[in-house]
Amino acid sequence: MSDSREKGDITRLVRADNHIQKIVGEYGLDCFPQEFDVIPAQKMLEIMSYNLPVNYSHWSFGRDYEKQRTQYEYSGGIPYEVVLNSNPSRAFLMKTNPYPIQVLVMAHVYGHNDFMKNNIYFGRTRRDMLTSASESAGRLRKYEEQYGIDEVERLIDAAQAIQMHIEADLFQESAIQPESAEPKRRPQKMGTPFADLFDFDGQLTSKSFEEKRDEARKLKKKIPAEPDPDMMGFIMKHSPRDFEEWELDVLSVIRDQSIYFMPQRKTKVMNEGWASFWHMRLMSRLFQDGFLTPEEHGYYNLYNARVLASNPFGLNPYLLGVKTFLNIEKRYNAGQFGPDWERSESPDKWKTDLNVGKGMEKIFEVRRTHMDWFFLDEFMNHEVVEESELYIFGSKQQGNVEEFTVEETNWSTIKDLIVRSFAHSGVPLIKVTDGDYGGKRELYLRHFYDGLTLEEEYARQTLRHVFSLWDRPVHLETVEVEGNSETRIQLTYDGKGFSKINLGTYVKE
């Protein structure tokens, strides 16, 4: 592309941005200042793979880059944009997108911008992660030079294995400092080498060492006092490994980034649905205002249809999100809400239209207060399921051919399955229940089973990484299911091998 052509396209995009901002203000969207970067495909794929424009080095990012590149080059996967949670908001546009698609993407970005500024789950996140990540990358490069790439990568491997197991309400917590897990000793009255022969009143005691040890364990404060879902934070504070400062820094970098991206994981459907809802409104206005041509309208229709197409083998968050928001707007405009409407037995219940006009007010409220789990549980109804063309399918092998068949179309069953999959942002709920298991500083983890089992080989490999961070045997309590039987097991890794204990079996009737 010639310099004059490129400058002309940028000028048109600036004009489009100004016009979109005007409409955004009219619709009442509340956005951070917006910055756009138009970048080539390779840079876009790097940002998508490394999660940020600049990040620390790790083999997993290179793996993800190759996957993204292969999808882009051979299967038509098109990365339209990347938008980051920052102030000002930063978005990256693919240089090869046709002009009307760039305008579509820009309109879509303003929806993300408004969502990330106003949704409560983004409210406590840091908006300077781009600067922080760049500084962190520099420090980790120095650690590689000083301690060796292999040592740093082994630590990152272990941290990434548990990076999703972070307490969701710790957005305001600063970098964790090492803290001893040793219980505080009670003061002794006798300051002699024989003080342990006396009780705390200075009286000679005949209790054995074992008896005194057992009493001391009972008096010792349990760590943690309650099950702790912040596994990485707990390990950083209480690990017997005695981390060096640079190791704690590496763990803190990964933990901070996991917390930064947590709202995106919790609101993927809502965020994409909200951005899609508004890009359709904004593009409609642009066409009404004559800002785009009829031919460009055709481009828009084609690409918009691709974004919102139903996926026969998976869930399209753009489609499900926008259908749910549209349904909320329609129902709250028509008065189809509230206790009286919920109790209605009328067969025409879904068609009742009281024209109360509460739709826009409601979707802005939901945008502010909900995350995917609650959003879908409360607002996903039979109309949303049907319009999103959702069903449950299964597969069976017929010779050399794998056949797929629809196994369930009941909207309530489908909703229950989808809502359950969004519990805890799709991450198994595993909590630290004891940091001194058996009085030996061993780590005890418990999987809070919700009907979905852990993949055992994945659990075993994860325990290896946890052991490398804890440096003592690690135990994981979870559930295995076979037929109607549920068996609670304890899986242990001691640095040499695995063992498994049956803790009891429950048979469903």
Q: Are residues 392 and 484 in the same domain?
A: no
As a whole number of angstroms, the distance between CA 454 and CA 128 comes to 35
**Cα 197 to Cα 183, 184, 209, 211, distances in angstroms:** 20, 19, 9, 12
Could you list the residue range(s) of the whole structural domain that residue 410 is in? 317-423
**Angle (CA) 291 316 320, round 5°:** 80
Residues 376, 470, single domain; the answer is no
Q: Is pLDDT at 183 greater than 60 in this prediction?
A: no
Quick one: pLDDT at residue 459? 95
Q: Which two three-digit tokens encode residue 143?
A: 């650690």
Whether 20 is in a domain gets the answer yes
Task: Report DSSP state, residue 427.
Answer: S
Strand partners for 34? 89
7 pLDDT more than 80: no
d(CA 373, CA 370) in angstroms, rounded, equals: 8
Q: State how far the Cα of 21 lies from the Cα of 11, in Å rounded to an integer.
A: 15
Average predicted confidence (pLDDT) for the chain: 85
444 within domain boundaries:
yes
Residue 202, pLDDT above cutoff 50: no
**Same domain as 376, residue 277:** no
SS3 for 48-113 is HHHCCCCCCCCHHHHHHHHHHHHHHHHCCCCCCEEEECCCCEEEEEECCCCHHHHHHHHHHHHHHH
- Quote the tokens at residue 434: 């004891």
**Same domain assignment for residues 110 and 8:** yes
- The answer as to whether 384 is a domain residue is yes
With contact defined as beta carbons under 8 Å apart, do 491 and 483 qualify?
A: no
DSSP letter for 494, please. -
Do 95 and 60 share a structural domain?
yes
pLDDT digits (tens, 9 = 90+) for 410-467: 889 999 999 988 888 888 999 999 999 999 999 999 999 988 899 999 999 999 999 9
Query: Whole-prediction pTM value?
Result: 0.84
What's the rounded Cα separation, in Å, for the pair 64 and 54?
15
Whole-angstrom Cα Rg for the chain: 28
Classify residue 395 by its DSSP letter. E
Tally of domains within the chain: 3
CB-based contacts of 117, cutoff 8 Å, min separation 6: 30, 31, 32, 87, 89
Question: pLDDT tens across 332-364, in order?
Answer: 998 888 877 776 666 466 566 667 889 999 999
Residue 281 falls within a domain, yes or no? yes
Are 416 and 429 part of one and the same domain?
A: no
Given a cut of 70, whether residue 501 has pLDDT beyond it is yes
**Is the per-residue pLDDT at 399 higher than 80?**
no
Let me know if residue 232 belongs to a domain.
no
10/88 same-domain check: yes
- Tell me what pLDDT residue 426 has: 81
Instruction: Return d(Cα 250, Cα 243) in angstroms, integer.
Output: 11
**What is d(CA 61, CA 65) in angstroms, rounded to the nearest whole number?**
6
- First-to-last CA distance in the chain? 70
- 385 in Cβ contact with 410 (< 8 Å): no
